[in-house]
């Protein structure tokens, strides 16, 4: 589905906006401070339930207003879907799909697969493992129907286990949590491993177009030793985990490492090259989703000119069968 219309009310500095969008590439052109990024952030929020520039809801709702309202229309080949999100200053959300309330934000995310490309986005490569786990989990979420529920349960169980580590003295007291945690951890790790193996060729091909001077390799690290059962790892590391008061091994510690000519990309590539690589990885993910599921991916590109001046032609930047909304700074005409 393609986002064909966007209505914004009291979001950031936008009192009201009604935008018609076309399939393919949409440019937002204007001076700094004109609201381009706010429009991109509104689209992102409609699909994720949260903004990408601030986690504080008070900064996202327009000054002296109680809530923001976002509506969108998704155009498919055979039908149109209406979606909406309202969020107030207390953080309470209301999700509406085709006129009915009571839906979850995850349903919006499923309806609107999107990739965000921003000046800060290269933290995917030089930031902590959590950014690369999120990269893999985006793909797993859109490719495995049960992933979101399993991932949510995993987070809950790890949090509970960490709290229990402060109170128990013997591993047997911790076993009830581990009996639930182990199958979830192994399933999530299998999904991540399968996804990373399936997409690696797409990533290599796209990255070669952006950075042909490097040979890039990709490796998934599941968060505990290879060829070792997770149950064994948890029991063997109980005393260490108890001293640390957190679970030191598991899918919540997984990583997806990328090397250029055998060295970590964060140590080898320049800042500009890292941005190009980040862009290539995001594009590859969207292309892979379209190839395996037939669903269109929406790319949100902020500060287009400054970030992609050295990138390949637009035909490479925007894959076929995809949509994009790009913020473009108006050049000085003097």
Domain boundaries, the chain: 1-112+296-334, 128-294
Choosing among 1.10.3720.10, 1.10.1790.20, 2.102.10.10, 1.20.1050.90, the CATH entry for 128-294 is 1.20.1050.90
Query: Residue 83 CA to chain centroid, in angstroms?
Result: 20
Q: Determine the pLDDT at residue 332.
A: 36
Q: Classify the phi-psi angles of 36: left when phi > 0, otherwise alpha if psi is within -120 to 50, otherwise beta.
A: alpha
* Residue 30 annotated as part of some ligand binding site: yes
* Residue 37 annotated as part of some ligand binding site: yes
* Residue 262 annotated as part of some ligand binding site: no
Choosing among 1.10.3720.10, 3.40.50.300, 3.30.70.260, 3.40.50.1970, the CATH entry for 1-112+296-334 is 3.40.50.300
Q: Determine the pLDDT at residue 52.
A: 87
Distance between first and last Cα of the chain:
41
Q: Which tokens is 303 given?
A: 């500060």
Q: What's the predicted TM-score (pTM) here?
A: 0.90
Residue 243 CA to residue 265 CA, distance in Å, equals: 34
- Per the CB < 8 A criterion, the answer to whether 20 and 5 are in contact is yes
Q: Which tokens is 71 given?
A: 């509506």
Tell me: the pLDDT tens digits for 2-22?
999 999 999 999 999 999 999
Q: Determine the pLDDT at residue 315.
A: 40
- Per the CB < 8 A criterion, the answer to whether 126 and 274 are in contact is yes
Give 202-207's long-range contacts (Cβ < 8 A, gap of 24+).
202/284, 202/287, 202/288, 202/291, 203/280, 203/281, 203/284, 205/284, 206/280, 206/281, 206/283, 206/284, 206/287, 207/277, 207/280, 207/281, 207/284
* Residue 189 annotated as part of some ligand binding site: no
Tell me phi and psi for residue 220, to 5 degrees: -95, 130
* Residue 149 annotated as part of some ligand binding site: no
> Please, what is the average pLDDT of the chain?
91
Tell me: the pLDDT tens digits for 70-103?
999 999 888 999 999 999 999 899 999 999 999 9
Q: Which tokens is 68 given?
A: 């923001």
* Residue 35 annotated as part of some ligand binding site: yes
Q: Which residues of the chain fall short of a pLDDT of 70?
A: 304-321, 328-334
Residue 21 CA to residue 5 CA, distance in Å, equals: 6
Spatial CB neighbours of 50, under 8 Å, sequence gap ≥ 6: none
* Residue 86 annotated as part of some ligand binding site: no
């Amino acid at each position: 589905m393609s986002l064909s219309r966007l209505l914004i009310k009291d979001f950031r500095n936008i009192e009201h906006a009604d935008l018609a969008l076309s399939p393919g590439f949409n440019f937002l052109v204007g001076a700094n401070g004109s609201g381009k990024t706010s429009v991109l952030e509104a689209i992102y929020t409609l699909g994720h339930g949260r903004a990408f520039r601030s986690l504080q809801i008070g900064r996202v709702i327009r000054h002296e207003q109680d809530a923001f309202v976002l509506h969108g229309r998704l155009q498919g080949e055979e039908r149109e879907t209406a979606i909406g999100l309202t969020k107030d200053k207390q953080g309470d959300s209301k999700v509406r799909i085709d006129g009915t309330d009571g839906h979850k934000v995850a349903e919006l995310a499923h309806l609107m697969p999107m990739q965000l490309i921003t000046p800060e986005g290269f933290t995917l490569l030089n930031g902590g493992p959590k950014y690369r786990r999120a990269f893999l989990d985006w793909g797993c979420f859109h490719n495995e129907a049960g992933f979101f529920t399993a991932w949510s349960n995993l987070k809950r169980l790890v949090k509970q286990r960490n709290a229990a580590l402060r109170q128990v003295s013997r591993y047997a007291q911790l076993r009830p949590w581990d009996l639930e945690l182990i199958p979830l951890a192994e399933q999530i790790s299998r999904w991540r491993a399968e996804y990373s193996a399936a997409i690696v060729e797409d990533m290599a091909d796209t990255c070669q177009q952006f950075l042909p001077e490097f040979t890039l390799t990709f490796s998934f690290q599941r968060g505990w030793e290879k060829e070792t059962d997770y149950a064994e790892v948890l029991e063997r590391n109980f005393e260490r985990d108890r001293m640390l008061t957190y679970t030191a091994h598991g899918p919540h510690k997984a990583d997806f490492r990328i090397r250029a000519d055998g060295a970590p990309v964060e140590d080898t590539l320049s800042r500009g090259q890292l941005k190009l690589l980040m862009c290539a990885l995001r594009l590859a993910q969207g292309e892979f989703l379209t190839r395996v599921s037939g669903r269109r991916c929406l790319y949100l590109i902020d500060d287009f000119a400054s970030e992609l001046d050295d990138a390949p032609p637009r035909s490479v930047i925007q894959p076929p069968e995809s949509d994009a909304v790009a913020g473009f700074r108006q050049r000085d005409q003097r």
